[in-house]
Amino acid sequence: MATKAPKTDIDESKVAVSGRKKVAVGVPAVLHALEISYEQMGVKRSVETLMRVNQKNGFDCPGCAWPEADHRHIAEFCENGAKAVAEEATLRRVEPAFFAAHSIAELEAHDDWWLGQQGRLTDPMILDEGATHYRPISWDDALHEIATALRDLDDPDEAVFYTSGRTSNEAAFLYQLLVRGLGTNNLPDCSNMCHESSGSALTETLGIGKGTVSIDDVHNADLLIVAGQNPGTNHPRMLSALEKAKQNGATIVAVNPLPEAGLLRFENPQTPQGVILGGTKMADEFVQIRLGGDQALFQAIGKHLLEVEERDGGVLDHDFIAAHTSGFDDYRRAMADASWAELVEATGVAEGTMRRVAELVRTSPSTIVCWAMGLTQHKHAVATLHDVVNVLLLQGNIGRPGAGVCPVRGHSNVQGDRTMGIYEKPSEAFLAALDEEFGFTAPREHGFDTVQAIRAMRDGRARVFMAMGGNFVSATPDTAVTEAALRNMDLTVQVSTKLNRSHVVTGRRAIILPTLGRTDRDRRTGRDGVAREQKITVEDSMSAVHASRGRLAPPSDDLLSEVAIIARICRLLFGEDAVGTRPVEASDRPGATHPVEHDLGQAERSPANERARAGIEDDDARVQHPANVPQADWAALETDYTLIRKHIANVVPGFDDFEKRVDKGRTFILPNGPRDARSFATATGKAMFTVNELEFPRIPEGRVILQTLRSHDQYNTTIYGKDDRYRGIHGGRRVVLVNAEDVAALGFADGEIVDLVSEWTTPSGEVEERRAEEFRIVPYPTPRGNAAAYYPETNVLVPLDSTADVSGTPTSKSIVVRFEHRS
């Protein structure tokens, strides 16, 4: 398979490559952030806006989900956070005249960077079937088109509803209610492609799919292991927390295939130490591990701890193990049988180095393990995270200060969206509470995750696709297949602030609904004719919930919020003025299972509410009559978000007194059984040691294992520029970073332009190939046999069916690739 690369206006052979950086942030980061801010917003707007980012009475950064400490700096943002704010608060506008001047074919030839640079969307637009250009459409007509398309489906499961992590709690809660009111659980989201493996592993072993640490725990940990993560680019404010931990005496171990500047040295631009005195050395130990070798490393740590315990004693927390865990004896026997030679082969790390790291763990009074996509996007990702938990359980490093698991989320409310019910496999407890609150029966059959949704669209089992934010085309694997799947839709709908590739790869018909961003003032006019400012809420990576309120005038006067858009569609589907009268098929079919929701707290895991199941067990395809829809005052919910928060408080555990707890900039922490009380809602009622067969990628002769990653001028699929300052790449993105010895051994040269060809062996034994063209080889200090390149350009190489066991996450960090010379 192959896909044509979007136009970039860049000659990759002329990309400048300089020495990589060995220090992150500092004055250059500040200057670059200000340069982009002034370019997009102007000086006055930049100052006013940036001073409100992540402040208690300001707005939550639309970038990462790293939490804020209670005491906040006046400039509580990082370089990439400033870029994210500038992109949203830009003065540039994409108005109807833009679409009249640019055909879909022309827009499709441009890349995501060019599309994003055009500015904020201002008006609803529609692409008619067979048309070459989008045209304007009124809000009423656009929403009627969407509601009619949904009502006309033969089965609700023919609709797919995607969500990105930037959607607020209020919008996410209303969105999942819309979807379940329609009669489906097809709610794929960006979690499916990033931390789904974390949720799967932690739910099974600890009983909750979230991290168990607070920001204070990070500050006060004795040892932090940062694995498969690049905080200097992906969540730079984490560096300040790590620096504070270092100042408090912590040791930091970095585990990563690439040496990342942010984990080498940090120059904090808000301190004299960072600006004048050379900053702070971050990692005390850098473990340069082979791609996919992390499971072996944590097995090696566990094996070493058990060996020392057997020899000398005093290593394990026997009281914790006896009182709070199950499965220890089986794990101990498995580690005794583990082979050091195989662990060395899997990691590419010497046994002595692994034992040295294990000694740091042994002597640490409190240990936190942090991770991101480097651990979650492999076939054996869930097993890897099981072994992370095993190591922490050995010394009781769950549920005590300065210790625990810390999966670091990406988008600023991706965890909150899941808490609000954006999940294709909701718990029975959540659905029962939803039924009781809104007077209907939600569907119980599981919906599609992201990969399953693409398959359904590809195979003609879905007809309508709606995305609440995000850039589905550029975020998903197997680009050619995904694009063909979307083009197979009757209708695609994008609720967005800015243009991206998902607006130009469309169904036969397409609608763009522009919406408010985090920085925008949100005024809703109630029935009394009075316009009142609304706030929304978000949940960060450590289960802290707080309010966010934008202050900027919206890009256009009649721009709707996400909440308003969803509420109006709900009114058209479920209200008195609902479009159409045809009954809708429900999704309640026998045989559906109801596993624990990965990212909801342990309070969700109550016994099933039998009332909610009454009367639906025997029907194979029960007709959902118009009366079986959620009952709510949709117009009131659109104009008063406090009413949505009241509903949330009645449905989602931990949100009691919601309004009061987020008033005046307050933050509250959601309940967390493992952290709060060493309570574990698992199958055994205890934290679970697990036995996991060792897995790691084997590299065929003449091939490398490729990981996809971000550049420093990028946040997820949003491209801010064509440079990667820390890695020394300037003026282009189609580069592949390869060990210099591999470059020579494979018969290629520094700077050569090559095609990347991935090789995927299907379950039936067939070998499929996918191609990404014209990448420049850049020698780089990666482990032998490993390579790296930026996404979304290399998403085309990731097979749709190559997913992690259990979680279904695409394996974007372990792609078998060969290089081909260009003719």
Tokens of 816: 């078998």
Average pLDDT over residues 761-789: 95
Average pLDDT over residues 687-708: 97
- From 160-174, 205-219, 593-607, the region with the lowest mean pLDDT: 593-607
Average pLDDT over residues 313-322: 98
SS3 61: coil
Q: Which residues contact 460 (CB under 8 A, 6 or more apart)?
A: 488
pLDDT value at residue 275: 61
Of 403, 348, 409, 394, residue with least CA distance to 165? 409
Q: Which residues contact 811 (CB under 8 A, 6 or more apart)?
A: 377, 378, 379, 798, 802, 803, 804
Q: What's the pLDDT tens digit per position in 361-379?
A: 999 999 999 999 999 999 9
Of 304, 334, 191, 249, residue with least CA distance to 691? 334
Q: Which amino acid is at 252?
A: I
Q: What is the rounded distance in angstroms from the CA atom of residue 169 to the CA atom of residue 177?
A: 12
- Contact between 481 and 797 under an 8 Å Cβ cutoff? The reply is no
Mean pLDDT of the chain: 89
pLDDT value at residue 817: 98
Of 379, 235, 348, 486, residue with least CA distance to 812? 379
Q: Hey, what domains does the chain have and what are their CATH numbers?
A: 12-17+702-821 (2.40.40.20), 93-187+431-656 (3.40.50.740), 196-408+680-688 (3.40.228.10)
Residue whose tokens read 């994409």: 94
Q: What is the rounded distance in angstroms from the CA atom of residue 724 to the CA atom of residue 717?
A: 15
Displacement of CA 125 from its chain's centroid (Å): 28
Q: What's the pLDDT tens digit per position in 2-30?
A: 334 444 444 555 788 988 888 876 667 67
Tokens of 165: 């992590």
Q: What is the rounded distance in angstroms from the CA atom of residue 513 to the CA atom of residue 109?
A: 22
Average pLDDT over residues 567-580: 87
Residue 584 reports pLDDT greater than 70: no
Residue 131 reports pLDDT greater than 60: yes
- Contact between 454 and 487 under an 8 Å Cβ cutoff? The reply is no
Residue 431 reports pLDDT greater than 70: yes
Average pLDDT over residues 88-112: 95
Q: Which helix (H) or strand (E) holds 66?
A: none
DSSP state letter for 20: P
Q: What percent of the chain has pLDDT over 90?
A: 73
Residue 581 reports pLDDT greater than 60: no
Average pLDDT over residues 413-438: 96
Average pLDDT over residues 86-103: 94
Q: What is the rounded distance in angstroms from the CA atom of residue 478 to the CA atom of residue 485?
A: 11
Q: Is the peptide bond prior to 792 cis by the omega test (within 30 degrees of 0)?
A: yes
Average pLDDT over residues 651-671: 94
Residue 340 reports pLDDT greater than 80: yes
Residue whose tokens read 């009268």: 581
26: left (phi over 0), alpha (psi -120 to 50) or beta: left
- Prediction pTM value: 0.91
Q: What is the rounded distance in angstroms from the CA atom of residue 509 to the CA atom of residue 473?
A: 16
Average pLDDT over residues 262-267: 84
